[in-house]
Amino acid sequence: MKKSGLKKRVNLPALVLLTLMPVGLTACSQTTTQANSSGRWVSIVMGILLLLAYLGLVIYLWRVGKLSTWFAAGSAAARLKVQGVRLKGELKGLERDKSDLLDELGEKAWAARVSDPAYEGAYNQLLTVQGQIDGATDHRRSLEEKKVELAEQRKDVVERFYQQIEALKNQQAGVDRDLSEAKNRVRVLEADLDAAAQEKSRFQRDVKDTRGRIIEMERSDDPDKVERLVELNSRLSSLTTSLLDATNAEPELAAQLPALQNQALALSTQLNELQGQIQALEGDLKSELLPLDDQLEALEKQIKTKTSEIKTFGEQLTPMAKALGAQVEKARPLSPELTELYQKLDMILSTVDFKAQAKEDVSSNLGTVDKTASLNFYILLLIGVLIIVLAILLLTGVI
């Protein structure tokens, strides 16, 4: 009962001050309102009074010996809480480092195929998954080899057909060139025939015209009749000879035309036949490539499927190998590859134990701190801050 009374007496000044704070603030506001009409001295006096009141409270607590007790309790609680937070963060970091080392330990133990009866089940599961990966990898390798063989076979088929097609195209180019020359000769010969026919017609008109003029001249009484007839007869003889030559030349030219036309027709037929052969070879090429392309496409799909399976198994294997680390750490099988990791883990585990014990000590020490005294110190500190701020506002005339 006496101790409870003591606590009430100790907390009374703070509680009274906290209770009167709203009243004081209201009074200050009213006083400030009056000061707007009567002067700033009232606000200054109120600010000084607040500071003196708080100072008096602090002196009172110091005189009765409570200020030092509250300060010691508050500072001890703050220091211990800071230490606790720091140790908690350090422990989380150590746990992450420990987890990373355990993952690395599991992966190295699996990579080195370090087995132990203590984790035989997990190790056998890893062997099973690894066997699936190896089987899928071997199958994919065989598929890739088959794909390479089919690709080479397809390449050979394409080269074989392309050689034949290229030879026909070269031959086609020569025939097309000969056909163009033959067509040109036919056009030239036809032009010569047209020219010969036109010349023959012209000579026939001239012969007819000259004969008519001779008949007219024979019937006329022209004094130069004899001379003119000699001249016309000489012209007629010359025209007749030219007409005969033109008439004889036309059949000779016409006789050459069928041979040239036949030659052009034969070359055109040969050109068409070569084009047909090329198209036939291209069709045969597509026919031979079709099953090969289908096989290659099917192999590509199978390879993608096996690659996906390998990836899936690998995604299963990695976390399983990491999870093996905790069991390996417990069993500690002898292995040169794992010795360094064991040492690192021992250092981290030792540090974790030390930090955990330190955290427990901090928690234990924090439990021995007088919570009431610590709380009173922080309340006193908070009230001091509020009063100082309020006093500054009063003294500067803000309120």
- Residue 197 located in a structural domain: yes
- pLDDT tens across 62-105, in order? 877 777 777 777 777 788 888 888 888 888 998 899 999 999 99
Q: Are 313 and 397 in a shared domain?
A: no
Q: How confident is the model at residue 143, as a pLDDT?
A: 95
Element (H, E) at 222: none
Between the alpha carbon of residue 370 and those of residues 24, 69, 70, 74, 374, the distances in Å are 31, 9, 9, 9, 6
282-303: per-residue pLDDT in tens? 999 999 999 999 999 999 999 9
**CB-based contact 378:74 (threshold 8 Å):** yes
Which of 45-59, 244-258, 383-397 has the lowest average pLDDT? 244-258
Alpha carbon distance 119, 330 (integer Å): 9
Distance spanning both ends of the chain, measured CA to CA: 45
| Residue 233 tokens, joined | 């007869």
Boundary-marking domain end, from 297, 315, 331 = 331
Range in 28-32, 146-150, 268-272 the model is least confident about: 28-32
d(CA 39, CA 254): 140
For residue 393, the one-letter residue type is L
Average pLDDT over residues 192-201: 73
- The verdict on 309 and 233 lying in the same domain is yes
Domain boundary among 277, 299, 331: 331
Residue 59 resides in a domain = no
DSSP 3-state of 396? coil
Domain that holds residue 188: 118-331
Whether residue 132 is contained in a domain is answered as yes
Distance CA 321, CA 112 (A): 11
> Distance (Å, rounded) from C-alpha 279 to C-alpha 161?
11
Buried b (16+ CB within 10 A) or exposed e, 14-39: beebeeeeeebeeebeebbeebeeee
| d(C-alpha 382, C-alpha 385), whole Å | 5
Give the percent of the chain with pLDDT over 90. Answer: 35
Report the amino acid identity of residue 158: V
The answer to whether residues 371 and 307 belong to one domain is no
Has residue 69 been placed in a domain? no
| 56 domain-assigned | no
Specify whether 169 is located in the same domain as 261: yes
Tell me the pTM.
0.54
